[in-house]
Structure 1
Amino acid sequence: MHRFKVEKMGCGGCAKSVTRAIQAVAPNARIEVNLGAKHVTVSDTAGSADRIAQAIAAAGFPAEPLLAAA
């Protein structure tokens, strides 16, 4: 599981853009977006956190990796 803080994500359209960017590099991932906290959780994926963060950033939303909860 990978978690990211995405500060620039502020609306449903932003969340959809971030989701599409992640799906481009991790098509089988389960993606959960929390707009209030500006967090994205990516589960069930073999994609690397770096690749996912780069894809989110390329969509215009710089992403900061967060430590996964134990």
Structure 2
Amino acid sequence: MIEFTLPTMTCGHCVRAVTQAVKDAAPQARVEIDLPSHKLQVENAPDREALVKALAEAGYDPA
């Protein structure tokens, strides 16, 4: 499992955008988001760096 903290993920729109960015980078990935704590967990993603790049391109700088 790969985990990120996304401090700028604050609403439902952000959740959809983050989910889509992850799915674009790793279509088979399973995404879990805890919005109040700004946490993103991704399972079945082969490459952390590809996720970091996809999230950054979507406007979410992963910590």
* TM-score for the superposition, normalised by structure 1: 0.86
What residue is the counterpart of 1:52 in the other structure? 51
1:12-38 per-position Cα deviation (integer Å, ceiling 9, x unaligned)? 110100000010010000000100110
Q: How many residues align?
A: 63
Show structure 1 runs of 5+ residues with no match.
65-70
* Aligned alpha-carbon RMSD (Å): 0.7
Aligned-residue identity in percent: 32
Q: Give the ranges of 4+ consecutive aligned residues of structure 1 lying more than 3 Å apart after TM superposition.
A: none
Show structure 2 runs of 5+ residues with no match.
none
Indicate the structure with greater helix content.
2
1:24-70 per-position Cα deviation (integer Å, ceiling 9, x unaligned)? 01000000010011010000222x11110110110011111xxxxxx
Letter in 1 for 2:49: D
Letter in 1 for 2:42: V
